[in-house]
Amino acid sequence: MREELFAGVDIHKDDYVGCIVDKDGQIVRERTFPPTKEGAEGFFCGMPVKAVAIEACSMWRAAYNLFRERQEVKLASAKKTNDIVGEKKMDKFDAKALANLLRVGYLPEVHIPTDDILDLRELCRHKSNLTRTRVTYQNKIKSHLLMHGIKYPVKLWNKKNLQWLRDQEDFKVLNLLNIRETVAKEENEVLKQIGKISRNRKVTNLLMTVPGIAEFGALMILSEISDIKRFKTPKELVKYTGLCPGKYQTGKTERDVKCHAVNKWLKWIVTECSGRASTLKNTKFQYHFAKINKRKNSKVARRSTARKMLTIIWHMLQNEEPYHAS
């Protein structure tokens, strides 16, 4: 029986740096290879690799698709890996560290969603980035108007006031407005696709029964959570989202610390949806926000309302039941 080996690969745009170790941590193969099918086959050729570890970065999905045909792929948190192995930063050292963490069972794994969920996640994040781009250009237009002492209407982006903007015959405003309208057009096309997908999914229809959650919010929450079964309690989901502070304790000293290794997209969309829900009359979110706001402040109240919504979402998805107002 051949000895099982463990591999770690440090990912880059132009090449990959791989390291394969045996059960004792001895290097069996160490090589830089191109990010191609032929390069991967050459690196793993003749090696009974049990699993390969890669770091979560912007290029991880391409590496995952390249390796998963041959062996199991494990995705590691880049920050947590760095916290474990220290601040030494070299490609060969990173690859070896990943292989050894995988070997001893200390690899800080990140959940890998299905291809379907990854595609939905990419679609929702794309829509969010388009919205942020549109808002950036809207702010540039407002800033330019204020700089020249031009008072603009409150509802600047309706059809009537968009024509008013064009009537100003300002070259920079017209240029920025053309970019803004192009982005807005593409944003609407993406929203149509998101709406169609949301209306045809059972889970998103369940989520849309929650006050404050519409088609886009439901699909983004679904794509960012992926599989609700991986969160055994609501607290685990809240922790994953970063809506509760971490704890630092040494001796008698204890303080809250900000959690960085969290899903910031899920935190953002739940905060947005719960903020909208807290403005709706006669909902439990409105009552909860008002109670916390009276005792603390609006910032704490908004975060607490988001935690409440996320807890409700956990129970809904676990039990596959719609939202109950009572």
The pLDDT of residue 24 is above 60: yes
Phi, psi (deg, nearest 5) at residue 258: -75, 135
Joined together, the tokens standing for residue 92 give: 């060969």
Predicted confidence band of residue 274 (pLDDT cuts 50, 70, 90)? very high
Joined together, the tokens standing for residue 163 give: 């024509």
Given a contact cutoff of 8 angstroms between Cβ atoms, the answer to whether 103 and 23 are in contact is: yes
Counting DSSP H helices and E strands in the chain, the numbers are 13, 7
Alpha-carbon distances, residue 271 vs 201, 225, 258, 274, 292 (angstroms): 23, 15, 17, 5, 15
Q: Which amino acid is it at 281?
A: K
Joined together, the tokens standing for residue 57 give: 């970065």
Q: Is 188 exposed, middle or buried (0-12, 13-18, 19+ CB in 10 A)?
A: exposed
Predicted confidence band of residue 282 (pLDDT cuts 50, 70, 90)? confident
Location of structure tokens 């055994």:
232
Provide the pLDDT for residue 1: 44
Helix, coil or strand: residue 151: coil
Tell me the mean pLDDT in the region 62-77.
93
The pLDDT of residue 25 is above 50: yes
Given a contact cutoff of 8 angstroms between Cβ atoms, the answer to whether 194 and 216 are in contact is: yes
CATH topology (fold) of 5-104: Nucleotidyltransferase; domain 5 (3.30.420)
Give dist(CA 326, CA 320) in Å, integer.
17
Provide the pLDDT for residue 232: 96
Given a contact cutoff of 8 angstroms between Cβ atoms, the answer to whether 8 and 95 are in contact is: yes
Provide the pLDDT for residue 83: 83
Predicted confidence band of residue 256 (pLDDT cuts 50, 70, 90)? low
What is the rounded radius of gyration, in angstroms, for the C-alpha atoms of the chain? 25
Joined together, the tokens standing for residue 167 give: 């009537």
Across the beta sheet with 16-21, what order do the strands follow?
27-33, 16-21, 5-11, 49-55, 72-76
Tell me the mean pLDDT in the region 129-155.
95
Provide the pLDDT for residue 214: 96
Provide the pLDDT for residue 8: 95
Cβ count near 260 (within 10 Å): 10
Given a contact cutoff of 8 angstroms between Cβ atoms, the answer to whether 51 and 29 are in contact is: no
Predicted confidence band of residue 262 (pLDDT cuts 50, 70, 90)? confident
Tell me the mean pLDDT in the region 70-82.
90
Residues 6 or more apart in contact with residue 265 via CB below 8 angstroms: 121, 124, 125, 128, 220, 224
Cβ count near 217 (within 10 Å): 23
Location of structure tokens 């086959």:
41
Tell me the mean pLDDT in the region 277-293.
93
